[in-house]
C-alpha cells in the first residue's frame, strides 16, 4: 500500500476540502500516478513531435480512428489515444489540469482507484465518439488527447467539492459546480451543430468523459454497498461450507471409531484425506 492509499492521508485531505465553506484550489503535492502520467504523456508527445514519422506511426496505430468497424474494435486504442496530443497548447492545458485535479483526487482515493477512474473516463470518451461517427452524426477523424479523462476529473471534482473556488485562466474566480456546467454546455453545443464545429469529435469525448466521471462518483455508495453484499455473501457461503464439512468429518470419524477405517467409502476417504492435509497446512503456517 502506497502513501496515498493510507486512510490518514485521505482523512487529512477530506478535512481540508470538505469542511470549508468555500475551499480554494491550492498548489498540490505531486502524487505517484499523476507524476507517471505526466512523464508518459510528455515523452510520447516529444517523441512524435521531434520524429515526425514516428508521430505519424503513433497516430495511425494508437489513436481512436473509426474508419471502419474493424478499427473501432481495436480495443487498445481506447487507452493509447489518451497519451497522444496534437500540439503544445493541447498537451499543456491537459497536463496543467491533470497536475492540479489529478493530484487532488489521487490523494482522496488512493493511487490504484484514481488510475482506474482516469483510464475509464478516457476510454468512455473514446467509445462515445466512434458511436456517433458510425451512425453518421459526426465525421470520421483521428481522436487523440487526454481530454476525456481530464473532463471526467473535473466532473468528479464538481460533485465532490461543488463550492471549491477555482481561478479560470488564473484570473476569474468561479465555483467548481459552475465551471462544470459551463464545460457541459461547451461540449453539448458543438454536438448539436457538428457541421459548423471544428472539434465535434473531441467534444463528444469530453462529454463521454464527464458522464463517466459523474456516474463513477454518484454511484460510489451503491457500488460500496453492492461490494459489501457480495463479500458478505461469499463469507456466509464459506462459513456454511465449513460447517457442513465439519459435520461430515464428525460423521466420518465416528464411523471410523465404530466400524474401522475399512468401512469408509472412496468418497469418505477422500474427504478425510483432504481435511487432514488442510489441517496440516494450517498448523504449518
Mean pLDDT of 234-247: 79
Domain segments of the chain: what residues?
3-218, 225-284
More confident residue, 192 or 67: 67
Torsion of CA 57, 58, 63, 68, to 10 degrees: 20
Minimum mean pLDDT range among 122-126, 163-167, 227-231: 227-231
CA distances from 153 to 7, 49, 55, 98, 224 (A): 21, 27, 27, 8, 20
Which pLDDT score is estimated for 101? 93
Helices (H), 98-219: 103-109, 111-134, 147-160, 176-192, 200-218
| Whether pLDDT at 9 is above 60 | no
Lookup: cell for 224: 460500496
Torsion of CA 193, 197, 202, 204, to 10 degrees: 0
Q: How many CB atoms are located within 10 Å of the residue 82 CB?
A: 31
| Whether pLDDT at 118 is above 50 | yes
* Phi, psi dihedral angles at 20 (to 5 degrees): -90, 145
Which pLDDT score is estimated for 198? 64
More confident residue, 270 or 25: 270
> What are the E-state strand segments in the chain?
165-168, 172-175
Which pLDDT score is estimated for 22? 55
Q: Counting Cβ atoms within 10 Å, is residue 78 exposed (0-12), middle (13-18) or buried (19+)?
A: buried
Which pLDDT score is estimated for 3? 46
Which pLDDT score is estimated for 213? 92
| Whether pLDDT at 180 is above 70 | yes
Which pLDDT score is estimated for 200? 64
Superfamily of domain 3-218: Rhomboid-like (1.20.1540.10)
| Whether pLDDT at 10 is above 70 | no
Q: Which residues, 6+ apart, have CB-to-CB distance to 151 below 8 Å?
A: 121, 125, 183, 187, 206, 207, 209, 210, 213
3-state secondary structure of 6: coil
Q: Partners of 100 in the beta sheet? A: none
Which pLDDT score is estimated for 244? 77
Which pLDDT score is estimated for 282? 63
Lookup: cell for 281: 497446512
CA distances from 276 to 153, 273, 281 (A): 53, 5, 9
| Whether pLDDT at 20 is above 90 | no
| Whether pLDDT at 239 is above 70 | yes
Average pLDDT, the chain: 82
Amino acid at each position: 500500500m502506497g502513501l496515498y492509499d493510507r486512510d490518514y492521508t485521505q482523512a487529512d485531505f477530506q478535512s481540508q476540502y470538505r469542511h470549508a465553506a468555500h475551499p480554494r484550489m491550492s498548489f498540490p503535492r505531486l502524487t505517484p500516478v499523476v507524476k507517471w502520467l505526466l512523464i508518459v504523456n510528455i515523452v510520447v508527445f516529444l517523441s512524435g513531435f521531434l520524429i515526425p514519422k514516428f508521430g505519424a506511426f503513433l497516430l495511425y496505430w494508437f489513436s481512436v480512428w473509426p474508419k471502419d468497424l474493424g478499427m473501432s474494435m481495436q480495443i487498445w486504442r481506447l487507452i493509447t489515444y489518451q497519451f497522444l496530443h496534437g500540439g503544445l497548447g493541447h498537451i499543456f492545458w491537459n497536463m496543467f489540469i491533470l497536475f492540479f485535479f489529478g493530484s487532488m483526487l489521487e490523494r482522496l482515493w488512493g493511487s490504484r482507484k484514481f488510475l482506474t477512474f482516469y483510464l475509464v473516463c478516457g476510454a468512455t470518451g473514446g467509445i462515445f465518439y466512434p458511436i456517433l461517427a458510425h451512425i453518421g452524426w459526426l465525421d470520421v477523424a483521428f481522436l487523440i488527447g487526454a481530454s476525456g479523462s481530464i473532463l471526467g476529473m473535473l466532473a468528479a471534482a464538481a460533485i465532490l467539492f461543488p463550492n471549491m473556488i477555482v481561478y479560470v485562466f488564473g484570473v476569474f474566480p468561479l465555483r467548481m459546480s459552475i465551471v462544470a456546467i459551463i464545460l457541459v454546455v461547451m461540449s453539448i453545443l458543438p454536438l448539436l451543430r457538428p457541421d459548423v464545429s471544428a472539434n465535434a469529435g473531441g467534444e463528444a469525448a469530453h462529454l463521454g468523459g464527464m458522464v463517466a466521471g459523474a456516474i463513477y462518483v454518484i454511484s460510489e455508495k451503491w457500488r460500496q454497498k453492492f461490494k459489501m453484499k457480495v463479500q458478505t455473501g461469499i463469507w456466509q457461503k464459506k462459513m456454511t461450507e465449513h460447517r457442513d464439512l465439519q459435520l461430515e468429518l464428525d460423521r466420518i470419524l465416528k464411523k471410523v471409531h465404530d466400524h474401522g477405517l475399512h468401512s469408509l467409502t472412496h468418497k469418505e476417504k477422500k474427504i478425510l484425506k483432504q481435511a487432514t492435509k488442510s489441517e496440516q497446512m494450517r498448523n504449518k503456517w
